[in-house]
Amino acid sequence: MHEESSTATKVRLPAWQIVSAFAIIYLVWGSTFLAIRVGVREIPPFLMAAFRFLAASSLLFVWMRSRGVAAPTRRQWIASFLLASLIFVLDYGSLFWAEQRVPSGIAAVILATIPAFMALSEIFVLRTRRFTVRLGVALVIGLLGVATLMNNSPSLGGAPVDRGGAVALLIAALSWSVASACTRKAPLPASKPMSSAAQMFAGGILLFILAASTGELRGFQFQAVSFAAWFSLFYLVVPGSIVGFTAYLWLLHHESPTKVGTYAYVNPVVAVILGSLWGGEAIGLRTVVATILILISVIAIATMRAAKKTTDMVSTKVATPEWQSADSGVEV
């Protein structure tokens, strides 16, 4: 997408459509963390993640094929499975597992460190960015936020976050950033929705295998799961994946990637608030301080990325959207 040329030809849309689309990626994606928390109380985490992505990818795949989009080639399926092992097994698998131990709001706050890990990937893996003092300060602030959550000091109030869960969430953030770096060189379908469908389907298959190998299928009874848990799964599949992803792609065609990317630091705030209101999760000084520190870090890194993109656009007359699909850090 060439943002300069597309901006000039954009049709002015009613404000309510833009506001509604932003509300979806802010509120719906922010609420998916609570939905996961509700679901994994009764459905084993890897199995629930497998159900989510197999259902969502099947719907998305059928939709794209009905619109005439070509199915992935054998080479593209191989790339999708390789990336899915990072994005869906390590990232989402770790997230679903961690939410058995960590409140949903805290999980969202820790995952907000993804931009920090992506910046490190660009420095050490892709070598497309130089380490600067400003970036170093932003990274330190983000690490302080995570340290605050895990600190045992009684002055912060409340119990520190479960360390096993916190480590799993950091692994999730790291694996997403590595996958995002690899995505840029992987032979994936040109259609972003089809690419996401292929990766989600591959991830669902791998997660189901993981669920079976870890014994999650033994003793699991569908009839024993409550309506609330099944509804949380439905919410993750339809509003969380299909509706949210559609709104996200639509916004990318009508708003700048920088504006659309603001979901990355709005979602954690939404998750913390909803976790408190509907999930009975306490918001103490520890959570507030950690959230502020991590969001400062994320915003600082995001604005640096935007500034870098603006510089590139001036010099090359081409701007490539940074947030293009689920491959780039979107909660689907």
pLDDT tens digits for range 215-233: 999 989 999 999 999 999 9
Among residues of the chain, what percentage have pLDDT more than 70? Answer: 87
Please tell me the distance from the alpha carbon of residue 168 to that of residue 111, in angstroms, as a whole number: 10
How would you classify residue 68: left for phi > 0, otherwise alpha for psi between -120 and 50, otherwise beta?
left
Among residues of the chain, what percentage have pLDDT more than 90? Answer: 56
Instruction: Check whether 170 has a pLDDT greater than 60.
Output: yes
Instruction: Check whether 320 has a pLDDT greater than 70.
Output: no
SS (H, E, C) 303-323: HHHHHHHHHHHHHHCCCCCCC
Instruction: Check whether 41 has a pLDDT greater than 90.
Output: yes
Please report which confidence band the pLDDT of residue 323 belongs to, taking 50, 70 and 90 as the band edges: very low
Average pLDDT over the chain, rounded to an integer:
85
Please report which confidence band the pLDDT of residue 318 belongs to, taking 50, 70 and 90 as the band edges: very low
Give residue 123's pLDDT. 80
Q: What is the mean pLDDT of residues 124-133?
A: 79
Give residue 116's pLDDT. 84
Please tell me the distance from the alpha carbon of residue 170 to that of residue 176, in angstroms, as a whole number: 10
Residue range 228-281, pLDDT digits in tens: 999 999 999 999 999 998 898 888 888 887 788 788 889 999 999 999 999 989
Say what the pTM is.
Answer: 0.84
DSSP structure string for 179-243: HHHHHTTS---SSHHHHHHHHHHHHHHHHHHHHHHTTTTTT--GGGS-HHHHHHHHHIIIIIIII
For the ranges 111-125, 199-213, 309-323, the one whose mean pLDDT is highest: 199-213
Give residue 317's pLDDT. 29
Q: What is the mean pLDDT of residues 142-149?
A: 90
Give residue 330's pLDDT. 42
Higher per-residue confidence, 303 vs 310: 303
Question: 101 in helix, strand or coil?
Answer: coil
- On the CB side of 106, CA atoms within 13 Å amount to 31
Please tell me the distance from the alpha carbon of residue 283 to that of residue 272, in angstroms, as a whole number: 8
Give residue 307's pLDDT. 52
For the ranges 47-51, 154-158, 218-222, the one whose mean pLDDT is highest: 47-51
Give residue 10's pLDDT. 53
C-alpha distances (whole Å) from 217 to each of 169, 211, 231, 252 are 24, 7, 20, 39
Give residue 238's pLDDT. 95
